[in-house]
Structure 1
Amino acid sequence: MTSGAEAMADGAGTMTGAIEIVENARLVLPDRVETGWLAVTGGRIAEIGEGPAPERGLDLRGDILLPGLVELHTDHLESHYAPRPGVRWHPLGAVLAYDAQIAASGITTVFDSLRAGSDPDGSGLGSELDALAQAIADARASGLFRADHRTHLRCEIPSADVVDAVRAFAERFPVGLISLMDHTPGQRQFRDVSKYYQYAGRGGRPIEEIRAGTERKIREGRALTAMNRPALVALAHAMGIPLASHDDTTLADVGMSRAESVALAEFPTTLEAAQASHAAGITVMMGAPNLIRGGSHSGNVAAQDLAEAGLLSILSSDYVPASLLMAAFQLPERVPGIRLPEAIATVTANPARATGLNDRGRIAVGLRADLVRVRIAQGVPVVRQVWRAGERVV
């Protein structure tokens, strides 16, 4: 059981105010929603009851109480560190600003997505990866974090230095998840090369430069992938790190993932890939922005289609942290067969279970008191308060 002192040392105490009893709340439990109360002791949920609380506590006035959200894939940290091309912010300042936004979105456990491997066109952090990782380690050691931060290494397979970068990183910092990514134009996310040109041209790069870089990526990508993917898989298995495969598109992609004992299918781009992943016992994750926007910005399969087919297990905020909570509340409206507890599980219990975090993700006796108070305003879920291990952080 986590004590209050341990919670503070782990970074949960950025705001004072431990809770003992919460009353008059609409509790989203694993199988139902009921009006009731809960008690917290030592950072854990000690009791849950229906109706009035046995003694006065924090009155939520009918607001919704959820488990803290668990985020497995957010690209948002790097945009705080590199907000403009060629601009680098102070690493610790960037990490803390990002942490505040994550917590304010109701996320109490986050896997910070850091890209390993240099892109041939010069994008990516390259050696600067360590600067961000050290800032995360420093903030954690100093108890500055509101959320519980873990590391998700996004490994760009057709990168000449990716294996060395991952090995060096893992020697210095803990890694909670590794994803195998291949953004070579003409396959996976960018099967339609014209979509890749649109994506690559967002920063105003000349089309001639983009075309030349695309040809180089296609030419060199195949050999690098054949060499790097098995090396990364072996490295992850040797270190006991769960694997995710990014943008599986074909049955062959899923067959490879299955052979590699991949646990998580991140953003499969086709219905057939999602179906095959689900049948193979690989957990399917899709982007919350995809659901909210009604489709993929890359022209791939819609998250709602997978939800309607019973294939969607996890939502990720991807590039908009606030989208996670909004998508979870929209899911029952878009797919009538999904109830609110099941929808909330896609952003709490399911991602926690997929990464072995069995002490969180549900409102249940004995689990961590990671909790989010939510009020619906004009159809939008608004985060009002957040507790991590019973300590208020927002």
Structure 2
Amino acid sequence: MTGAVEIRNGRVVTPTGVIEDGRVVVVDDRIAQVGEATAVPLPRATVVDADGRVVVPGFVDIHGDDIERHRSPRAGARVDVRSALATADRANALVGVTTKFHAIAFEDDASDGRSIDEAETIARAVSNADDTLADNRVHVRSDLSHDSVDAVERVVSSGEVDVDLLSVMHHAPGDGQFDETEFERHYMEDRNWPPEKVERVIEAREELSVSTKRDLVARVAELAAGAGVPLASHDDETAAAVDRMFECEASISEYPLTMEAARRATDRGMTTVMGAPNLVRGGSLWDNLSARSAVDADVVDVLCSDYHPPSLLAAPFVETGEPLSARVNRVTRNPAEAVGLHDRGRLEPGARADVVVVDPSPIPSVERVLVAGDEVLRAGADRERVPHGRAVDGPGS
């Protein structure tokens, strides 16, 4: 599609409500009009009949590590990084993600597929890609170790990678989401680590003193400030932990483990982020804070895909007793605002034309995706199959 596109007869979700029989007009890469479908069609516009489907802004995912599984679909089987990125990009577009922050773990453990070298490889591929469907960006997750922080400093200062978000993480038993039993179970059962390896990792991660960890956090915070990008905390368990990150100018709290931490982050004016899979499946995988409980307490601002992009599409359609617009804001406007992308995440005149048409029943599925005004995906009933994978509009399109 080029020029003007008019999406008519949809349930158009704006930041403040739903236009039940609405229209969205796109001109080039911007939204030009949002209003009632009764308005006179724009001359010479390409008309898309949404036929009662839900029309939302493109989803903004500020934390998704799914590229790791496309890169290494099985232990020992590694896919070319460009192919992995292309596959992840298309898988995300299929569920309406138009801005993707790939959460890349700078954590040195090559046998687990997560290594500093691997993180640098993926970060360069994401930063330098110019043929993706969505807007793909780099979220650097720095483990609290000297090697990891050294590598993050090297990447940020090199100029080879455009880093758009920095966060700090420290997975150790009793510090974060796992007690010792759950830490061992996670790494032995879910990641297939042998017991002796788990013991070595526990020993290494517990060696860091409190003062050393705080020094490492301060180094990452200084990097974020110098690069002019947001800083996020990760797995805060207590109000005191939130306070320490807030003092380092963190503006985002990812995955608070307790209601206490989530409330403190909210009180501090931080953006609180939780995983969409937590909401969709009805609870935390590790018996931490329930996303639904956080929603009910009004202490969660953003949902991210975490490890499962389809959950980001499903999340706004989970009934929480809130207006649909509030649920949609958590995966569109709110995350965009949290990372300083004020040009997108909302269906309003002047905003970037990232638009998604969703059929919510029987399960939410995406029928059309526009990224900066370009149609990058079309599916659904009006799609006719022709030889060699080409597609044309069906009758009435």
What is the TM-score normalised by the length of structure 2? 0.89
Question: In structure 2, which of residues 192, 202, 217 is the aligned counterpart of residue 214 of structure 1?
Answer: 202
Say which SS state the counterpart of residue 307 (structure 2) adopts. coil
Question: In structure 1, which of residues 201, 205, 220 is the aligned counterpart of residue 193 of structure 2?
Answer: 205
> Which residue does 1:11 correspond to in 2?
none
Q: Does 1:372 align with 2:356?
A: yes
Q: Displacement, 1:194?
A: 1.1
> Which residue does 1:156 correspond to in 2?
143
Say which SS state the counterpart of residue 24 (structure 2) adopts. strand
Q: Displacement, 1:375?
A: 0.5
CA distance in 1: counterparts of 2:214 and 2:326, whole angstroms: 39
Q: Displacement, 1:250?
A: 1.0
- What's the % identity of the aligned pairs? 36
Q: Does 1:353 align with 2:343?
A: no
Q: Which deviates further from its counterpart, 31-40 or 307-316?
A: 31-40
> Which residue does 2:12 correspond to in 1?
27
Alignment of 1:189-268 (within 5 A): 189-190=177-178, 192-201=179-188, 202-220=190-208, 222=210, 224-268=212-256
CA distance in 2: counterparts of 1:79 and 1:374, whole angstroms: 26
CA distance in 2: counterparts of 1:19 and 1:104, whole angstroms: 23
> Which residue does 2:367 correspond to in 1?
384
Deviations 1:360-379, CA, capped at 9 Å, x for gaps: 0110011111000000222x
Q: Displacement, 1:133?
A: 2.6
> Which residue does 2:90 correspond to in 1?
100
Say which SS state the counterpart of residue 393 (structure 1) adopts. strand
8 Å CA contact retained: 2:24, 2:31: yes
8 Å CA contact retained: 2:172, 2:183: no
CA distance in 2: counterparts of 1:233 and 1:155, whole angstroms: 11
What is the TM-score normalised by the length of structure 1? 0.89
Aligned length: 369
CA distance in 2: counterparts of 1:213 and 1:129, whole angstroms: 19
**Where does structure 2 lack aligned partners over 5 or more consecutive residues?**
378-397
> Which residue does 2:271 correspond to in 1?
283
Alignment of 1:71-86 (within 5 A): 71-86=61-76
Structure with the bigger RCO (C-alpha within 8 Å, sep 6+) is: 1
Q: Displacement, 1:230?
A: 1.2
Question: In structure 2, which of residues 176, 184, 198 is the aligned counterpart of residue 188 of structure 1?
Answer: 176
- The residue type equivalent to 2:332 in the other structure is T
**Where does structure 1 lack aligned partners over 5 or more consecutive residues?**
1-15
Q: Does 1:45 align with 2:28?
A: no
> Which residue does 1:118 correspond to in 2?
108
Say which SS state the counterpart of residue 129 (structure 2) adopts. helix
> Which residue does 1:306 correspond to in 2?
294
CA distance in 2: counterparts of 1:264 and 1:213, whole angstroms: 28
Question: In structure 2, which of residues 49, 52, 63 is the aligned counterpart of residue 59 of structure 1?
Answer: 49
Q: Displacement, 1:212?
A: 3.6
CA distance in 2: counterparts of 1:196 and 1:31, whole angstroms: 42
> Which residue does 1:69 correspond to in 2?
59
8 Å CA contact retained: 1:154, 1:180: yes
Q: Which deviates further from its counterpart, 229-238 or 359-368?
A: 229-238
CA distance in 1: counterparts of 2:4 and 2:27, whole angstroms: 8
CA distance in 2: counterparts of 1:316 and 1:18, whole angstroms: 32
Q: Which deviates further from its counterpart, 100-109 or 34-43?
A: 34-43
